[in-house]
Amino acid sequence: MRKLLVFILALSLFGGTMRSFAQASLTPDLSITTIPSDPKPFQEVLLRAESYAIDLDQASIVWKYNGIIVASGIGKRTITVTAPGNGQTGLIDISARALGSVEATASVVIRPASVDVLWEAPDSYTPPFYKGKALPSFGAPLRFTAIPTTSAPRQVVYRWSQNDSSLQSKSGYGNASITIVPEITSPSTTLSVSVQSGTFNGAGSASVTGKSPSLVAYQQKDGFTDYANGTTSAIEAQGPGTTVVFEPYYFSIPKNVTSDTFFTLTVDGKEVFGSPQQNMLRFSRPDTSASASIKVDVSTLEYELQRLARTFTLSFK
């Protein structure tokens, strides 16, 4: 009798275990693929549902974007949404139920990962009151700075490349800004950067084309240089005399235009010296109305490949 009771109890326990396994059900797999995987702010994103357990072509599918239904229907496997702006996120939820199967769900977060790349020519000279951006001359250094979106973490890895060539020595943690010297044989330079940290993966690039320097002449009036009126050829002066200042736009000057740059001034074939600065000449009105030919050559020891020369014609009215 005791053996019979033990047998019945064991059978009861075994059967209960079998029933619990039979009643349990696994949720079918469901995933979402985003194209592109790291969209820029407000970029169109393609979302595709994938599953190995459910026939999605026959399933009833519902898509939600930040809790709002944006698409639904039988076999609705793909949708297109707009990525949110900088510093924002978008939550995509999907539910799929095929005939005779358990409902499957999945979700994905859209987090824009754009990177702005800014450039500057740190040694490019512009005169006082110049309102534009200093443009780079050929062979002059360029500084590039990567600015990820606000959603990026503070500690990220910057991987730089110049014209598709990796700059490993300038890449690494915190290397958001680098300075490079463009290749002499290439008129333009493209710097690309990829920024990575955990789930953040953004990229950006900037292209810069070198520009030939320009020499502009300005006259002084009442002791002040008239930077509002410049010329690159003919200088027309009035009164008993004039002082002319020559400014080398976009010429690479490390520190100071008068101390780091050499000006060779020639008037009617005769070399003269500027006074009180080497890029400044004073002229007195001649007895006749004859004009003068002024040739200006600019050079610097820092950048031997950069030379600038221009000829001006000075006449008094």
Q: Which of 217, 280, 275 is nearest to 249 (CA)?
A: 217
Burial label, 227 (beta-carbon count in 10 A; 0-12, 13-18, 19+): middle
Classified by CATH at the fold level, domain 115-209 comes out as Immunoglobulin-like (2.60.40)
* Domain map (residue ranges) of the chain: 26-110, 115-209, 214-316
The CATH class for the domain spanning 26-110 reads mainly beta
Mean pLDDT rounded to a whole number for the chain: 83
Residue 100 is predicted with a pLDDT of 76
pLDDT in tens, 272-303: 988 778 889 998 887 776 788 999 999 887 77
Average pLDDT over residues 170-195: 88
> Of the candidates 64, 96, 101, which has an alpha carbon nearest to the alpha carbon of residue 77?
96
Q: Tens digits of per-residue pLDDT, 165-176?
A: 999 999 999 899
Q: Which residues of 117-154 are buried (b: 16+ CB within 10 A; e: fewer)?
A: bebbbebbbbeeeeeeebbbbbebbbbbebebbebbee
For domain 214-316, the question of CATH label 3.30.2450 is answered with: no
User: Do 26-110 and 214-316 come out as alike in CATH topology?
Assistant: yes
pTM of this prediction? 0.69
